[in-house]
Amino acid sequence: MELKSYADILKRIHAALEASRAVFARFTPGAIETEYKIGHDPVTEADRALDAVLRKELLREGEGWLSEESVDDPIRLQRSHVWVVDPLDGTREFVKGIPEFCVSIGFVENGRPVAGGIYNPATDETFLGSIESGVTYNGKQSQPSQRKTLEGALVLASRSEVKRGEWKPFENSEFKIRPMGSVAYKLALVSMGLADVTFTLTPKNEWDVAAGAALVLSAGGFVGTLENLPLRCNSKNPLLSGLLASGPYLREELLAAVREHCEPAILKSGPHG
């Protein structure tokens, strides 16, 4: 079943983002105890507190839930409407006190990201939108970059990917690379034209990207997987190979630039989306 209007969904997302503001007020970025999951990913008390608040504000009977900080309930696979959230995307930055972390809320309908909200408490930025309403930035309507060439474009890169040397093939490219934390925040910035492009060539989970992808798509921008397919969420295995996002006119140049440096199996000629 498809919703006729996403107004109620956006109200719930906005309420959840406001509730998260109160949770963040209880913690000081850069001065918080940190534990580490298997794989050395940090997790804090803030992650868990935010997860509980988001679930309370968002989830209704008959809807599915997929969150980085919740035990996965496979019943979500039977739901047409699913919340895909990362209560605190950019935990590493949060722990270090770098202002590049956010709450990331995505709403998925029949596998398609159709609404999202992202809030960065450090910069007091709120991004909210749906495929029906478009995207607002701190309450004002916005649009993605209208740039038509990658020359001089601002491309947001994963700080950890840059540190690992994964962006070396792009060092002499015609675009400008800016390392930054939180893939959700990077996607949000692309959705409203504060950056032209972001992409990741390493695996990400659906909760990392669902909200940001929904915003970029709602604003009229381009989002695609490394297999050159439309992004689908609420899969049994939520791990994605990577993601590309840009303003509407950079798609083909972006695909060509990334294809040049990727494995042959990636970005194969597939259906456009």
The predicted structure's pLDDT at residue 45: 83
- Euclidean distance between CA atoms 121 and 130, whole angstroms: 21
The predicted structure's pLDDT at residue 263: 58
Q: Which CATH superfamily is domain 7-142 in?
A: Fructose-1,6-Bisphosphatase, subunit A, domain 1 (3.30.540.10)
Pick the CATH number of 154-259 from 3.40.50.1970, 3.40.640.10, 3.40.190.80, 3.40.50.10890: 3.40.190.80
Residue 71 falls in which region: left (phi positive, over 0), alpha (psi -120 to 50) or beta: beta
Domain with CATH 3.40.190.80 in the chain: 154-259
Give the residue among 256, 226, 267 at the shortest CA–CA distance from 243: 226
DSSP state of 73: -
For residue 207, give the 3-state DSSP assignment.
helix
Domain with CATH 3.30.540.10 in the chain: 7-142
Report residue 258 as tokens.
């990334």
For residue 136, give the 3-state DSSP assignment.
strand
DSSP state of 169: G
Tokens 């990207």 appear where?
209
The predicted structure's pLDDT at residue 123: 97
Report residue 101 as tokens.
């972390």
Q: Taking 80 as the threshold, does the pLDDT of residue 135 lie above it?
A: yes
The predicted structure's pLDDT at residue 12: 98
Q: Taking 60 as the threshold, does the pLDDT of residue 31 lie above it?
A: no
The predicted structure's pLDDT at residue 269: 43
For residue 246, give the 3-state DSSP assignment.
strand
Give me the percent of the chain exceeding a pLDDT of 90. 79
Q: Across the chain, what does the average pLDDT equal?
A: 91
Residue 272: pLDDT band (50, 70, 90) is very low
Q: 30-34, 152-156, 179-183: which has the minimum mean pLDDT?
A: 30-34
